[in-house]
Amino acid sequence: MERFFKLKENGTNISTEILAGLTTFFAMAYIIIVNPKILSAAGMEWGAVFLATIISAIIGTLIMGLVANVPYAQAPGMGLNAFFVYTVCFGLGFTWQQALSMVFICGVINIIITVTKIRKYIIKSIPRSLQNAIGGGIGVFIAYIGLKSANIINFTNDTGAEVGLGASIHGSQIVPEISNFKSGELATLLAVIGLVITVVLLMLNVKGAIFIGIIITALIGIPMGLTSMGDTQSFKDAWAALPSTFGVIFTKEGLVSLFNDPSKLAVVFVTIFSFSLSDTFDTIGTFIGTGRRSGIFSDEDEKAMETTAGFKSKMDKALFADAVATSIGAIVGTSNTTTYVESAAGIGAGGRTGLTSVVVAICFALSAFFTPLVSAIPSAATAPALIIVGIMMLSSFKEINWEDLSEAIPAFFAGIAMGLFYSISNGIATGFIFYCLVKICKKKAKEVHPILWVVTGLFILNYVLLAITKVG
């Protein structure tokens, strides 16, 4: 195991990797329940999506760990699954079988641009200032996820009346504010308790502080009625439902039907383009944001990426693993499988090799049989881990010259705005756009890498096409 994963070389050991794997798993285990809930709204069977979610996570994460030897976990991505249901199926009128087919094509495209090293060259074209901004931005984003999932942040209108996220109130604006801890806000109280416990453990230099914090918080949640066994389908029922999604993209309802209507071809291509662009830059952002600070993707690794033959670096292999996982997930029956930003929780706990990913994959496999137990861990128990890891990642911002507006403006959009937009890819997109704009204004357009010009143009084109599609 030492020789395969090169534990000593990466400054880690078996116990640390196991703790890191458990930390990552519990930070992202919510997807096991949430993904079937979202995709079933489009008409897919809950049990089938439940198993498809687990299978795609296992395969994608194992490829990441055993091939690339990096501590990243994969599963169907939040945001992309909502786009799948509410935009592609409900908004554009495609069937879920056709939407799965588009996800499969997206995965194939990502495999092609990875094998041809286009994704690698995109990463190399991003200037160091923007890479640091993306790193800090991932910290803002993941901390915001933690604050929101713990209900520490509530959304109110400007009169102070509390409203649900996404609600619309005529004549007023919806703004975030700190929870007022009214009676009944037990989940918020538990999250705050967990945050305090985790901070104390970290300050006392307790090994495995983040994971221990999750477990202690979950135990405290038992008498509060927040940590309880969930009611879900049995493994047998889910297995019986799996054929309804497995391989459906290869039937007449899938890829064949997708290109039957010439009038919809333009919309099909725009949707695939949007899937691919978002998936690609969510992954790139996660790798840049977590890999550089932790040393997982070092400068030496970047030099290895310059080779033209084969996959010689961790980054090459990790990008390939991510691309393959999307197509595999679509075949099994789920929306885009992507590298999870919650992997940062395990990296923050010390995970440095693929052993962390293998542990996560094992946990996903076991969860198929113990879903009620896994789902018992409330989001209030994992939220503190995300908040703390987000704080750790903010150190990347110190490398940015905030006094120079030509550097600060793009960095703001690629970093701070990433959390405000609640989207990694949109944060990167606006960062790129303003970086190019600043360079043009400073008459330094030649400093912008040609690939960055192309990618920025594609982002702008994507926004225009999406706007036209929605209007149409």
pLDDT-derived band at 420 (thresholds 50, 70, 90) equals confident
Query: Please, which pLDDT band fits residue 29 given cuts at 50, 70 and 90?
Result: confident
| Cβ atoms within 10 Å of 115's Cβ, excluding its own | 14
Confidence at residue 170, expressed as pLDDT on a 0 to 100 scale: 47
pLDDT at 308: 44
Residue 1 lies in a domain: no
**CA-to-CA separations, 345 to 179, 283, 375, 395, in angstroms, rounded:** 24, 16, 18, 15
In a domain, 6, yes or no: no
Out of 166-180, 197-211, 246-260, 405-419, pick the least confident. Answer: 166-180
Q: Indicate the pLDDT class of residue 165, thresholds 50, 70 and 90.
A: very low
* Structure confidence at residue 251 (pLDDT): 93
Percent helix, strand, coil in the chain, to 5, is 70, 5, 25
Helices (H), 94-208: 96-115, 118-125, 128-149, 186-203
What does the pLDDT read at residue 470?
Answer: 59
CA-to-CA distance for 234 and 50, rounded, in angstroms? 10
Q: Please, which pLDDT band fits residue 159 given cuts at 50, 70 and 90?
A: very low
Contact 67, 321 (CB under 8 A): yes
3 found inside a domain: no
Q: Select from 240, 238, 218, 239 the least CA-distant residue to 229.
A: 218
The answer to whether residue 117 sits within a structural domain is: yes
Query: What values do phi and psi take at 384, rounded to 5?
Result: -60, -35
- The three-state secondary structure class of 172 is coil
User: Higher confidence at residue 298 or residue 75?
Assistant: 75
Predicted local confidence at residue 293, as pLDDT: 61
Burial of residue 260 (CB within 10 Å: 0-12, 13-18, 19+) is exposed
d(C-alpha 245, C-alpha 248), whole Å: 5
Is 4 within a domain? no
Report, as an integer, the average pLDDT of 222-246: 82
- Mean per-residue pLDDT for 99-126? 87
> What is the spatial distance between Cα 99 and Cα 268, in angstroms, rounded to a whole number?
9
| Band of residue 166 on the pLDDT scale cut at 50, 70, 90 | very low
The 10s digit of each residue's pLDDT in 369-394 is 887 777 677 888 888 888 887 888 78
SS3 80: helix
Provide the number of structural domains found in the chain: 1
Q: According to the model, what pLDDT value does residue 169 have?
A: 47
HSE-up (13 A, CA, CB side) for residue 28: 32
Task: Report the alpha-carbon distance of residue 55 to residue 75 in Å, rounded.
Answer: 9
Which H/E stretch holds residue 465? helix 450-471
More confident residue, 62 or 372: 62
Average pLDDT over residues 332-350: 88
Asked whether the beta carbons of 163 and 169 are under 8 A apart, the reply is yes
Which is nearest to 87 in space by CA: 304, 306, 336?
336
In a domain, 2, yes or no: no
Confidence of residue 309 (pLDDT cuts 50, 70, 90): very low
Q: Which domain holds residue 124?
A: 11-471
Strands 174-178 and 153-157: antiparallel
Asked if pLDDT for residue 18 goes beyond 70, the answer is yes
Containing H/E element for 153?
strand 153-157
217-249 burial, b at 16+ Cβ within 10 Å, e below that, comes to: bbebbeeeebbeeeebbebeebeebbeebbebb
Rounded Cα distance between 135 and 344, Å, is 11
Alpha carbon separation from 97 to 31, 105, 248, 250, 277 (Å, rounded): 21, 13, 7, 9, 21
pLDDT at 52 > cutoff 80: yes
Whether residue 270 is contained in a domain is answered as: yes
Identify the weakest region by mean pLDDT among 253-257, 339-343, 400-404, 408-412: 339-343
| Tens-digit pLDDT profile for residues 169-226 | 445 567 777 777 664 578 889 999 999 999 999 899 887 788 888 889 989 999 988 8
Task: List beta partners, residue 177.
Answer: 154
Q: Is residue 5 part of a domain?
A: no
Mean pLDDT of 92-115: 90
